Amino acid sequence: MPTLLHVLTRRNIAVNSEAVVPGGNTTLATDIRPDNWSPWMDFNYTTLTQIFRRELASSYQGSSEQRPLLNDLLVSNEETLEDFLRRFMSPVVNYALESQVGGPHLGRGSRCGSEDRPDWSVISGSCLDEWGRFVNILPGDTKLDAKWRPNMVQEDPANFAEWQKVMAQIVSYMARHRSRYGFIFTDACLVALRLTREPTGTGIGLARPRRDAAAIAAAIAGHKRHSSDVTMTSGEGSGSSYSDNDPLLWDYYNPEYTAIPWDAHGEGRLTIKLALWCLSMMATNGDSFIDYSYPKLDSWRHGSKEYVHNASGVSKSRLSGSDSHIEPDPDRWRRERDAREAAQDEYYKYTASQAPADDMPQFSQAGSTFGDASGQDYNEGDEESIEDDDDEQEEEALVAGSSRYRSPEPDDRTEIGSSRRHHKRDKRKHVTIQQHKKGVGLYFVNANGYKVDTAKKKWKEVEDGYEYKGNKFIYFTKEFPI
């Protein structure tokens, strides 16, 4: 009897999409509008088959695939594509899921209440809402390759707009159902998606206009297929207030994705059916809520009594030497540090505009103090020693996620309680501009060893590179990432 892995990696039946007429995609009224995406690096064959190696080695108990008739292969619109998928693709996935923990089942999105209509859902008897109804733990949408392809994100503005319409729609479904995972099914590929929440602090996030949550939900609820581009609008809410409990109003990073070609098959290849099976298992039994950052898929966290696998939900009493132990939201310490730095920067900008520099008051917060309240004078030699105090070692510790902590310090020390103020000369510090791992924005490491978000427009072009003037240092870089 074949194993689950063998069946899930078989060749897909080829379809004939010659009759599809190109056109526009549905426009959803939503404030969640990705403008790019980045590769989901660890959603791959090696990682997934390692996580689910025991389950995938079990015997496949389902029926054999049906023999398609010639007319079954003809795809002319989304409905005919879904007819094919539900008859020849999803049954294989569901048979492979039937005996698994939670009993996930792939089917229509409309079975999960009436609030919205994604084309696909995964349900489980272990995932019910407070009224006992199935929750859509893995929303998906069906699109035609003639109207939407992954590489449209890099094409001309018209094609990019079509790419963005579809992404805005599926990401809004993922947010609405509070699922970090989602997918797009086409007649040429499957795109697996993961969504990550972006923290909103005192910066640009709070300034973004926010649509009434009821209006967004109404627009999503009214989703229907259109043969041409139809704008789905809803009135703006008046007098509505922002609530952190509504995921439709959260800020998000651009999603991560993995595109699996229709014709991918065989040993060592991530296939459409294998990817759908793994997504369903992860959404049912692993951590699937939308968070600010995620550990590696193949990693473990502390449970109430045992260690729990972050992706599969499997538990065990102790870890082996090859197991990776990473708690959820591993970037939390970095985010909190950046928030402290941002608050510090905002404070100095505000006080500089409100009071003379010599009267700048002390700024402090729990766990750290900015400025000096002792009345001690810092001469230029003292500041040089601060600058040279093991910057490289501190940076290495921070990047590596060390538990070593150092209170953030401002670039410019303001003397409190002293009638004497030293006018220091600006010091040029060479830095490297780097791109965030998720591909969203640039940063550099300042003199204190902390990451500072930046943009090229903030830097002044000079003869040998670019300069940025801080409170104490002039930062210099030769180039920006392409």
Contacts for 366 with CB less than 8 Å, ≥ 6 apart: none
178: left (phi over 0), alpha (psi -120 to 50) or beta: left
Tokens of 16: 């004939």
Asked whether residue 434 is domain-assigned, the answer is yes
Closest among 174, 339, 342 to 254, alpha carbons compared:
174
Q: Which of 50-64, 148-162, 249-263, 332-346 has the lowest mean pLDDT?
A: 332-346
Same domain, 283 and 339: no
State the chain's mean pLDDT as an integer.
79
Same domain, 133 and 274: yes
Q: What is the pTM of this model?
A: 0.67
The better pLDDT of the pair 267, 470 is held by 267
Of the three residues 294, 321, 355, the one that is the final residue of a domain is 294
How does pLDDT run across 350-399, given as a tens digit for each residue?
A: 666 665 444 444 333 333 333 333 333 333 333 333 333 334 333 333 33
pLDDT at 66: 84
How does pLDDT run across 8-34, given as a tens digit for each residue?
A: 999 999 999 999 999 999 888 888 999
pLDDT at 179: 97
Average pLDDT rounded to a whole number, residues 158-163 = 96
Asked whether residue 319 is domain-assigned, the answer is no
pLDDT band, residue 222 (cuts 50/70/90): very low
Same domain, 116 and 33: yes
Same domain, 83 and 136: yes
The better pLDDT of the pair 335, 37 is held by 37
pLDDT at 177: 94
Residue 408 CB neighbour total at 10 angstroms? 19
pLDDT at 185: 98
Same domain, 354 and 260: no
Residue 123 CB neighbour total at 10 angstroms? 25
Query: Does position 297 have pLDDT exceeding 80, yes or no?
Result: yes
Calculate the alpha carbon distances from 356 to 75, 361, 414 in Å. Answer: 72, 10, 12
Same domain, 118 and 167: yes
Average pLDDT rounded to a whole number, residues 295-314 = 95
Overall size of the chain counted in residues: 482
Asked whether residue 87 is domain-assigned, the answer is yes
Compute the distance between CA of residue 189 and CA of residue 274 in angstroms, rounded to an integer: 13
Asked whether residue 449 is domain-assigned, the answer is yes
Instruction: Tell me the residue type at 233.
Output: T
Q: Provide the β-strand partners of residue 370.
A: 363
Query: Does position 194 have pLDDT exceeding 80, yes or no?
Result: yes
pLDDT at 377: 35
Same domain, 139 and 269: yes
Closest among 329, 180, 199, 173 to 251, alpha carbons compared:
199
Same domain, 376 and 423: yes
Tokens of 170: 């599926």
Asked whether residue 219 is domain-assigned, the answer is yes
Asked whether residue 324 is domain-assigned, the answer is no
Question: What φ, ψ does residue 309 adopt, rounded to 5°?
Answer: -75, 130
Q: Classify strands 368-370 and 363-365 as parallel, antiparallel or unpaired.
A: antiparallel
Same domain, 67 and 182: yes
Same domain, 107 and 201: yes
Asked whether residue 175 is domain-assigned, the answer is yes
Same domain, 337 and 286: no
Lay out the sheet containing 434-435: strands in order across.
434-435, 442-445, 451-454
Q: What is the DSSP string of 177-223?
A: TT-SEEEEE-SSEEEEEE--EE---SSHHHHS----HHHHHHHHHT-
Q: Of all residues in the chain, what percent carry a pLDDT higher than 70? A: 73
Compute the distance between CA of residue 345 and CA of residue 362 in angstroms, rounded to an integer: 13
The total number of structural domains that make up the chain? 2
How does pLDDT run across 196-207, given as a tens digit for each residue?
A: 999 875 332 444
Tokens of 457: 């427009």
Same domain, 74 and 182: yes
Supply the range of the domain harboring residue 146: 4-294
Identify whether the C-beta of residue 8 lies closer than 8 Å to the C-beta of residue 281. no
Asked whether residue 103 is domain-assigned, the answer is yes
pLDDT band, residue 347 (cuts 50/70/90): low
pLDDT band, residue 290 (cuts 50/70/90): very high
pLDDT band, residue 348 (cuts 50/70/90): low
